[in-house]
Amino acid sequence: MEFFRIKRDIPFMRHALVFNVVSFLTFAAAVFFLVTRGLHLSIEFTGGTVLEVEYAQTADINKTRSTVEAMGYGEVLVQNFGTSRDVLIRLPIRGDIKQSEVAAGVFDRLCAAEGGTVSPRQFTTPQGAQVSRPACTAAAGAEPIKLSRTEFVGPAVGRELYSDGVKALAFVVIGIMLYLAFRFEWKFSVAAIVANLHDVVIILGFFAFFQWEFSLAVLAAVLAVLGYSVNESVVIFDRIREAFRRYRKMSTREVIDHAITSTMSRTIITHGSTQMMVLAMLLFGGPTLHYFAVALTIGILFGIYSSVFVAAAIAMWLGVKREDLVRSGGKEHDPNDPNAGAVV
Amino acid sequence: MNRYPLWKYLLLAVALVVGLLYTLPNFFGEAPAVQVSSGKVTLKLDAAVVPRIESVLQQAGLKADFVHFEGNTVKARFADTDTQIKAKDAISRALNPDATDPGYIVALNLLSRSPAWLTSLHALPMYLGLDLRGGVHFLMQVDMKSALTKKAESFAGDMRSLMRDKNIRHAGITREGNDVAIRFRDRAVLAQAQAVLADQLPDLQWTESGDGSDFKLTGSLKPEAARRVQEQAIQQNITTLHNRINELAISEPVIQKQGLDRVVVQLPGVQDTAKAKDIIGRTATLEIRMVEESTEATAALRGDAPVPFGTERYLERGGAPIIVKRQVILTGENLTDAQPGFDSQTQEPAVHLTLDAKGARIFRDVTRDSVGKRMAILLFEKGKGEVVTAPVIRSEIGGGRVQISGRMTTVEANDTALLLRAGSLAAPMEIIEERTIGPSLGRDNIDKGFNSVTYGFAAIAAFMCVYYLLFGVFSTLALAFNLLLLVAVLSMLQATLTLPGIAAIALTLGMAIDANVLINERVREELRGGASPQAAIHTGYERAWATILDSNVTTLIAGLALLAFGSGPVRGFAVVHCLGILTSMFSAVMFSRGLVNLWYGRQKRLKAVSIGQVWRPDGAPSPAAESKG
């Protein structure tokens, strides 16, 4: 089986302008939404309290919301999480309230709203280990609501995570640029980073537009995708260098077209395989991994587009020449040197 | 050309066996167990308890898989929960004759079911993070400012005694923020003092200032000394937390330093945050009181008379009763430090205490009036007091430097110092992050993560096998080998597996297949170009390697950034991601090559390789084998 039966090089670069205009428009839209709507940062970044409760019956979100709102914590967010019985409640930081007690207080109230009282109860796990946890007990020993998870993050931690996230992004960008500049040439390094940063901005734009929750896991996904889709550009640049050496008569534009065409098959198959894995996470990973997988999906799709069409085009416009690559380093002249540059 | 030397095959075989061995323990699950740990700081658990527990179990007619001593707990594993509960009761009755004052904590627990021979190879199952097993997570911030202030306080005490010893007249010693200042009326005296201070207190940086007749010397902590102080403070807090958390009898609590001034506490299985907070926040208190040695007291000790008015009866660490006065001379608040060491004259093991200024003054007054008498140092825990040590006062002790020595071994000196310090936190702590995860949610998360990896893997495997035929099978085997190695390495490192970690495993596998796609595509291309099958395999692997390296380096850069700047869940993701990239380079290139070589390498006249259809644009038949540069 062979999916890609391409007879001659596809003239991608003839449409370079179109690709870049499309890119630019998407990018501008992403920036626009980032500025106007902003990211819906998770409490890991903003600080605050999150409770996840499980109702015995389908939860009445409005009732839950009004119960929590009556406590006066300011802007609270109440939403379903995964199933109709699981409810996620998010509370902002309030300077005058002791944060560590918020979660317990809210659970008390929710329990009272279901007609129960909170008291510690001993549970024995199936393995025989004993655990004690506060449980909401209503009449006849029923448990109308269960506390699945709570999380509280102080404001200082949030600020730090935010700055650490920015630092991590900077580290990745600088590290990759240095590596590419060392491995190829500065024009490629600039082109690759511009192309892939534009991916990052687009992912963020999606999160801003749909107001999806931007958590630490999503940040991890974004950085992982950045490293991953840069190697797409690397493969193409490797091919460009190889083609410059091998086909002395080709113009820069033809060389780039040839490089993109011949890596096409590998690009699609690799990304397809990675996407299969991500899809499995999206389908089976549950709500915790949901946005992580979503960020990866967007990243992978735009990663192909940008590193194939945008990075090469930018390198072309930056005026990449045969001399830039062939000249650098005497030992790289030998096309048979297996370490000279990889090709696919 | 496609043959591996024997050593390469051996290396692969060894990697495979080691991988299997260390992955194995993860499949055995957990068995019920009973865990015995010390219930008091003053009671040290040692291996001698093991035979005791064994005999108790034998008498009760219960059979344990094993009973062993590990770190500072004794664990016994049982076949079923029934035996476990009976064993718990039996052990508890035997070890704690007085149920109201338990010396040992006997708790139910879970232990890996993996056989002993695996455990003896240090092949242990991966440790599951809180999001997978449920529990409480706290991130605590240590207030370093107050640790430094406390240290400055103790330096002020040192300076006072130094000045007195050397007979240098000063006009007052004060603590100013984290610095200490000493004033003089005379320039010459200042110079003299400066020489002494610089010599005796090398941790401080001295600067001179002053106007007219008032000369001032300010000592500030050198940066490296300040760092050391903070290091010690956090270490002491961790020790204290350990002691307190021990009491909760949690299977594997995590108490770790994070960054310069933070402590992570993770209590798996605990669902009751309030109780956990209560225990973490509790302070054991230390008190110094005088020992009552009147005739009535000695009579009371023998049990002939009631304890005299204004006194109390406590037990010493050895178990002997002792009568102490109710009046408290000093509390732990005045104790800034306790370190084991040696007596400078007799070279006997000793414990050196440092008191703050107020403590030093009181202590001097008390010791001056009571030379020859005994004083008792009591540690109160959970509302019960115990005498840690009751030394005789040999002379007046000023300056806040106290030495307890005599009839102590080095181990005892160490223990005593630890006990004295254990009473308090070196610096207050505040909870800045808190997370609880219910046990059923944890179970759910495991299933979800596991399912994602399985289905994702299956999809990739199916695709590879269909698209690349036999080479696809090799690629799939290489990917499976990668998963095996990754899990083995994580188990070897005893890394904590979290849900983001599982996500990283999935993602890493998805990315790792890239290497094999690169290789397979390249081999196809060589074949398309007309290379002979053997040459195509050879050049295909050779050429793809540089690209694989390149692409992995860029991914690794991102992984390292996450490792360096990430915290909590992201770190777990980053660790797995980075390790996965490394194992994938080994498995995707070397292992799959090994398989290919094993299969095709020996066939001299290889006509075709099973790598799926190789399509040629011109539709021409395969040209003669000839390698093209």
pLDDT tens digit sequence for A206-260: 999 999 989 888 988 888 888 888 878 888 888 888 888 888 888 888 888 888 8
CATH no. of B6-11+438-600: 1.20.1640.10
| Strand extents, DSSP E, B418-515 | 429-437, 496-497
pLDDT tens track for B487-503: 999 999 888 888 889 99
The shortest C-alpha distance from A271 to chain B (Å) reads 8
- pLDDT, tens digit, 9 for 90 and up, residues A137-172: 877 777 788 888 888 887 777 788 888 888 888 888
- Please list the residue range(s) of chain B that carry CATH number 1.20.1640.10: 6-11+438-600
Contacts A156 to B, Cβ<8 Å: 141, 432
Residue of A nearest to B619 (CA): A7
Instruction: Calculate mean pLDDT across residues B436-458.
Output: 87
B511 and A168 within 8 Å at the Cβ level: the answer is: no
Per DSSP, the residues of B387-426 read EEE-PBP-S---TTEEEEESS--HHHHHHHHHHHHHTS-S
CB contact under 8 A, B449 and A217: no
Q: Which CATH architecture has domain A48-153?
A: 2-Layer Sandwich (3.30)
Between B30, B509, B543, which is nearest A277 by CB? Answer: B509
**φ, ψ of residue B567 in degrees (nearest 5):** -140, 160
Q: Is the model more confident about B440 or about A266?
A: A266
Q: Do A273 and B131 touch (CB under 8 A)?
A: no
Q: What does pTM read for this prediction?
A: 0.75
* Residues pairing with B387 in the sheet: B316, B378
Which residues in chain B are closer than 8 Å to A152, comparing Cβ atoms? Answer: 431, 433-435
Q: What CATH number labels B30-113?
A: 3.30.70.260
Question: Which of the listed CATH numbers 3.40.50.970, 1.10.3720.10, 3.30.1360.100, 3.30.70.260 matches domain B145-226?
Answer: 3.30.1360.100
Looking at the predicted structure, is the pLDDT value of residue A110 above 70? Answer: yes
B195: CB partners within 8 A, 6+ apart: none
Cβ atoms B201, B155 nearer than 8 A:
yes
Start-end ranges of CATH 3.30.1360.200 in chain B? 283-424
User: Are B131 and A288 a contacting pair at CB < 8 A?
Assistant: yes
- Residue A332 — pLDDT band, cuts 50, 70, 90? very low
Query: Does pLDDT of A132 surpass 70?
Result: no
Segments of chain A assigned E as strands: 40-41, 48-55, 77-81, 83-91, 117-124, 130-137, 145-153, 213-214
CB contact under 8 A, A276 and B568: no
Nearest-Cα distance to chain A for B628, in Å, is 10
Query: Are the C-beta atoms of B319 and B327 separated by less than 8 Å?
Result: no
Residues of chain A with C-beta less than 8 angstroms from the C-beta of B499: 288-289
Assigned token pair, B608: 């075709």
A320 or B587, which is more confident? B587
Q: How far apart are CA B15 and CA A322, in angstroms?
A: 44
* CB within 8 Å: B612 and A1: yes
Distance CA A105, CA B520 (A): 59
pLDDT of residue A78: 86
Distance between B14 CA and the closest CA of chain A, angstroms: 29
Outline where DSSP puts E strands in B252-308: 254-258, 262-268, 285-291
pLDDT exceeds 90 at position B282: no
Confidence of residue B289 (pLDDT cuts 50, 70, 90): confident
Q: Which residues of A touch B547 (CB under 8 A)?
A: 234-235, 238, 342-344
Helix or strand or coil: residue B5? coil
Tens digit of each residue's pLDDT (9 = 90 or more) over B338-355? 788 888 778 888 888 888
pLDDT tens digit sequence for B135-150: 888 888 888 887 788 7
Topology of domain A12-42+157-333 in CATH is: Multidrug efflux transporter AcrB transmembrane fold (1.20.1640)
Give the pLDDT score at B79.
Answer: 84
The residue among A43, A98, A133, A241 with the most chain B CBs within 10 A of its CB, best to mutate, is A133
Nearest by Cα to A92 from A142, A42, A27: A42
Asked if residues B98 and B60 have their Cβ atoms less than 8 Å apart, the reply is: no
On the question of pLDDT at B458 being above 90, the answer is yes
Residue A337 has a pLDDT of: 47
Q: What is the model's pLDDT at position A131?
A: 59
Q: Do A5 and B617 touch (CB under 8 A)?
A: yes
Residue A126 pLDDT > 70, yes or no?
Answer: no
The β-bridge relationship of strands A40-41 and A213-214 is: parallel
pLDDT for the residue numbered B490: 92
Q: How confident is the model at residue B483 (pLDDT cuts 50, 70, 90)?
A: very high
Of residues B502, B366, B373, the one with CA closest to residue B444 = B502
Q: Which residue of A has its CA nearest to B462?
A: A273
Mutation choice for B interface testing from A9, A52, A131, A296 by most B CBs within 10 A: A131
Q: How far apart are the C-alpha atoms of A141 and A138, rounded to whole Å?
A: 6
Residue B629 pLDDT level (bands cut at 50, 70, 90): very low
pLDDT at residue B203 greater than cutoff 80: yes
pLDDT of amino acid A107: 84
Question: pLDDT confidence of B383, banded at 50, 70, 90?
Answer: low
Q: Which residues of B touch A130 (CB under 8 A)?
A: 107-108
Tokens of A42: 């998770």
Partners of residue B131 in chain A, C-beta under 8 Å: 288
Of B277, B433, B448, the CB nearest to A286: B448
Output the pLDDT for position B15.
92
A220/B566 touch (CB, cutoff 8 Å), yes or no? yes
Find, in chain B, the residue whose alpha carbon is nearest to that of A228.
B555
Please state the rounded mean pLDDT for residues B458-478.
93
The rounded distance, in Å, linking the Cα atoms of B440 and B133 is 8
Q: What is the pLDDT of residue A335?
A: 47
Tokens at A133, concatenated: 């946890």
What residue spans define the domains of chain A? Answer: 12-42+157-333, 48-153
Enter the ipTM.
0.82
The domain made up of B283-424 has a fold known as: Gyrase A; domain 2 (3.30.1360)
Helix ranges restricted to H, B493-591: 499-528, 533-565, 569-585
Q: How far is B472 from chain A (nearest CA, A)?
A: 12
Could you report the per-residue pLDDT of B65-114, keeping only the tens digit for each? 888 887 777 888 888 878 888 888 888 888 887 776 677 878 777 778 88
Rounded to the nearest angstrom, the minimum Cα separation between B20 and chain A is 24
